[in-house]
């Protein structure tokens, strides 16, 4: 019984943390068609922000807005200087954002050095759920992320901003013809995606290793989710995270770490081959 509870909590954590990390990438790719290779570095910047805030002796909660603003500001800078010239040129954006990712990584090395950083959990210890011990911070994180996703989903469905974004995505020419400022909207979407990557890094910081190369890991697993879930929808993010996160946790329970990783690779390859649009394709 205890094992079953810990297992299902592990699966939930795998799915939810993956969805959190993928969100920024999915927003930018889904809304703008830009595959942001610098996504992982934006996550890293969020994590380093958490470290900087904590080592300055300030409460960790303060790191959340700081991380969102820092990553958002970098996203804004990326958009106005480089990305906006490259919309609708997928391969060029791929190369450009890859270059930016190297630049950001070197900047992180210069600012923070190569050493590992450690962020202490704001709520330590573990709580007992139906007789099974589970780390408290993970529970809080899962609750917060699920609430955040529900809010985001409602906002996107109901607000005018959501409608305008959907109009721009569906038909950019027509959208600008009816008076929607697509350039401004695209910039906001990009900044939002970058900021959410920063937030994800900040929220995950107490649970993960923090070094200048951490971004690469998160970029890879995020791609797998997008491949499976389908490119560019909130539902796709959750479905993709569910398949990848669930399969990885389940497979590594049975087959070990290497088996888990291989399973994820095989699933991704099968999807690219047999169902390139993913489970929840936009069109």
Partner 1 sequence: MDRRNFLKTTIGALAASQIASPTWAQGKPLKLGFLIPKSGPAGIFGPSSETTTAMAIEEINASGGILGRQVEALFGDAGGAPSDTVQAAQRLWRRDGVDALIGQHDSASREAVAAMLRGQLTYVYTPVNEGGYCHTNTYSLGETPDQQLAPVIPYLAKEHGLKKWYLIGNDYVWPRGTNAAAKTYIAETGGEIVGEEYHPFTVDNFDTSLTRIRESGADAVLITLVGGASVTFNRAFASFGLDKQAIRLGTLIEENTLAGIGEANSNRMYSTAGYFDALDTPAALAFRKTYYDRFGADAPVLNTLGEGCYEGAMALRAMFEAAGSTETDAVAAAANGVSYTGPRGTTTLSEGFAASDIYLATAKGAVFEIVQRFEKVAPGNACTNG
- Residue 116 near partner 1 by CB under 8 A: yes
d(CA 1, CA 260): 23
Q: How far is the CB of 194 from partner 1 (least distance, A)?
A: 22
Q: How far is the CB of 62 from partner 1 (least distance, A)?
A: 19
Out of 49, 252, 263, 268, name the contact with partner 1 by CB under 8 A: 252
- Residue 114 near partner 1 by CB under 8 A: yes
- Residue 213 near partner 1 by CB under 8 A: yes
Nearer to partner 1, 94 or 123 (CB): 123
- Residue 41 near partner 1 by CB under 8 A: no
Out of 90, 256, 276, 277, name the contact with partner 1 by CB under 8 A: 256
| Token digits of residue 15 | 């799915």
Q: How far is the CB of 240 from partner 1 (least distance, A)?
A: 17
Binding mask 127-146 toward partner 1 (x if CB under 8 A, else -) reads: ------xxx-xx--------
- Residue 24 near partner 1 by CB under 8 A: no
Specify the stretch interacting with partner 1 by CB under 8 A; choose among 81-89, 114-122, 178-186, 231-239: 114-122
Neighbour tally for 71: CB within 10 Å: 29
Q: How far is the CB of 258 from partner 1 (least distance, A)?
A: 6
- Residue 126 near partner 1 by CB under 8 A: yes
- Residue 6 near partner 1 by CB under 8 A: yes
Binding mask 81-110 toward partner 1 (x if CB under 8 A, else -) reads: -----------------------------x
Question: What's the first-to-final CA gap in the chain, in angstroms?
Answer: 43
- Residue 248 near partner 1 by CB under 8 A: yes
- Residue 7 near partner 1 by CB under 8 A: yes
**HEC profile for the chain?**
CHHHHHHHHHHHHHHHHHHHHHHHHHHHHHHHCCCCCCHHHHHHHHHHHHHHHHHCCCCHHHHHHHHHHHHHHHHHHHHHHCHHHHCCCHHHHHHHHHHHHHHHHHHHHHHHCCCCECCCCCCCCEEEECCEEEEHHHHHHHHHHHHHHHHHHHHHHHCHHHHHHHHHHHCHHHHHHCCCCHHHHHHHHHHHHHHHHHHHHHHHHHHCCECCCHHHHHHHHHHHHHHHHCCCCHHHHHHHHHHHHHHHHHHHHHHHHHHHHHHHHHHHHHHHHHCCCCCCCCC
Strand pairing report for 126-129 and 132-135: antiparallel
Out of 90, 95, 99, 124, name the contact with partner 1 by CB under 8 A: 124
Extract long-range pairs of 252-256: CB within 8 Å, 24+ residues apart. Answer: 253/7
Out of 69, 103, 120, 272, name the contact with partner 1 by CB under 8 A: 120
Out of 36, 196, 249, 268, name the contact with partner 1 by CB under 8 A: 249
Residues that bind partner 1 (CB under 8 A): 3, 6-7, 10, 13-14, 110, 113-121, 124-126, 133-135, 137-138, 207-211, 213-214, 217, 220, 248-249, 252-253, 256-258, 260-261
């Amino acid at each position: 019984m205890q094992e079953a509870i810990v297992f299902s909590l592990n699966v939930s954590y795998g799915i939810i943390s993956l969805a959190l990390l993928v969100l920024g990438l999915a927003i930018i790719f889904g809304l703008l068609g830009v595959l942001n290779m610098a996504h992982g570095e934006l996550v890293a910047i969020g994590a380093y922000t958490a470290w900087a805030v904590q080592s300055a002796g300030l409460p960790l909660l303060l790191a959340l807005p700081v991380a969102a603003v820092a990553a958002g500001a970098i996203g804004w800078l990326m958009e106005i200087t480089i990305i906006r010239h490259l919309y609708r040129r997928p391969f060029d954006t791929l190369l450009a954002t890859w270059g930016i990712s190297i630049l950001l990584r070197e900047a992180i090395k210069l600012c923070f050095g190569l050493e590992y950083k450690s962020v202490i959990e704001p709520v330590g210890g573990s709580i007992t759920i139906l007789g099974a011990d589970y780390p408290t911070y993970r529970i809080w994180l899962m609750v917060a992320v699920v609430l955040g996703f529900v809010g985001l989903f409602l906002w996107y469905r109901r607000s005018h901003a959501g409608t305008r974004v959907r109009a721009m995505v569906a038909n950019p020419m027509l959208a600008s013809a009816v008076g929607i400022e697509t350039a401004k909207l695209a910039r906001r979407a990009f900044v939002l995606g970058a900021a959410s990557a920063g937030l994800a890094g900040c929220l995950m910081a107490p649970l993960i290793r923090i070094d200048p190369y951490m971004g690469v890991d998160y970029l890879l697993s995020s791609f797998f989710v997008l491949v499976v879930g389908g490119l560019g929808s909130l539902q796709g993010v959750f479905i993709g995270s569910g398949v990848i996160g669930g399969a990885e946790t389940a497979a590594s329970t049975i087959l070990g770490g290497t088996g888990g990783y291989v399973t994820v690779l095989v699933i991704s390859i099968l999807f690219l081959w047999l169902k390139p649009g993913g489970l929840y394709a936009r069109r």
